[in-house]
Copies of this chain bind each other. A is one copy, B any other.
Amino acid sequence: MTKKGSEVTIRDVARRAGVSIATVSYVLNESAPISEATRRRVLAAAAELGYRPSALARGLRARESRTLGYSWHQRPPDYWHPILDRFLYSMAETAEAHGYHILTFTHSPHGRPWEAYEDLILTGRVDGFILSETNENDERIRYLLDRGFPFVAFGRANDEWDFPYVDVDGEAGVQTAVEHLLALGHRRIGCIAWPETSLTGRYRYQGYVNALENADIPVDPAWVVRTEHTEAAGRAAMHTLLSLPPERRPTAVVAISDLMAIGAMNALHEAGLTPGEDIAVVGFDDIPTAQYLRPPLTSLRQPIAEVGKRVVEMLLALIRGEELPERRVLLPPRLIVRASSGGPKA
């Protein structure tokens, strides 16, 4: 019935082993030469008592919390966060393997987003941050750079700032997807993209442009619809594309998010067409339900667990004061081919 944590302190271990508390500390941290006999006695005493050093006391003295902060936005109902589960799990797993933990906190995307970060720094609760859903000129990044506080981002910001990040290579991903459509024989390929203001959207769109350029196919401006990240917008975009005259109308469409791809497929159904047979559709994200849609959606799967692992490992190296061998890491997504992408009229 010990309400509060262990009553066993380093002093108890020292007493039992018949040594000073300094010796116990040295043994446990292997931070000084200790004779084999003493070492064994200390370890035995610690084990028998079930001793675990207090994280608070250690942190106070050593000026570290062995904790990493992570914050994410709350999204409106259908802008859900399909990957938080795996991302967070992967980060927690990696951190724990190195004796660290993850503290999750909230921040307001508008207003002063860095305030929550500042608070955690000043109270000494965290040794570093993981950022995600970064945007161009992200104020949190500017703040952390100014302060010189360790952090690693999942996502890029702009070309001027020099900071460590890991990102999924949306450009390469979409390029792969479009090349897949080209290989199936498609020549008129549409793109449902985000507004130009979205950095991630620009990278993904660039992949579309690259693939068509490599294939010597000029991009018909009518093939590109820029709209917001909702199912309704994706649906409307597809209706716009369908309204093109038959000889200009795309036979395949790549949507830069699954949510918009779902909208596109629903628009096809409304028009009495079958995705994957009449018009091919490809998405991006590979959300869990993608495989159960009718037809199952071809999509790009982000290596999200890998991102979580890399991001934490980089941050830990940074905290240890090491130079990072790679400060900017791009990981390719994997194209998962399903029935929504078929040949031009197959």
Contacts and interface: CB of A to CB of B under 8 A. Distances in A.
A123 interface: yes
Interface residues of A, number: 64
Nearest to A69: B101
Nearest to A57: B60
Given A50-B122, A88-B104, A147 B262 contact: no
Given A5-B124, A78-B291, 9 more contacts: A1-B147, A2-B147, A5-B122, A54-B124, A82-B288, A85-B85, A92-B104, A102-B105, A103-B104
Contacts of A52: 119, 122-123
A1 B147 CA distance: 5
A6 B122 CA distance: 5
Q: What is the oligomeric copy number?
A: 2
B106 A93 contact: yes
A281 to B, nearest CB: 14
Interface in A45-74: 50, 52-57, 59-60, 63, 65, 67, 72, 74
Contacts of A294: 266, 269, 294
- A56, A88, A104, A123, most chain B CB atoms within 10 A: A56
B103 A102 contact: yes
Contact of A123 (B53, B75, B86, B266): B53
- A85, A92, A231, most chain B CB atoms within 10 A: A85
A106 B121 contact: no
Contact of A106 (B5, B89, B262): B89
Contacts of A148: 1-3
A65 B125 CA distance: 10
Contact of A4 (B50, B63, B86, B269): B63
A29 interface: no
A55 B124 contact: yes
Interface string A85-121: 1101100110010000111111000000000000101
Nearest to A89: B74
A273 interface: no
A124 B55 CA distance: 6
A288 B77 contact: yes
Interface in A120-169: 121-125, 147-150
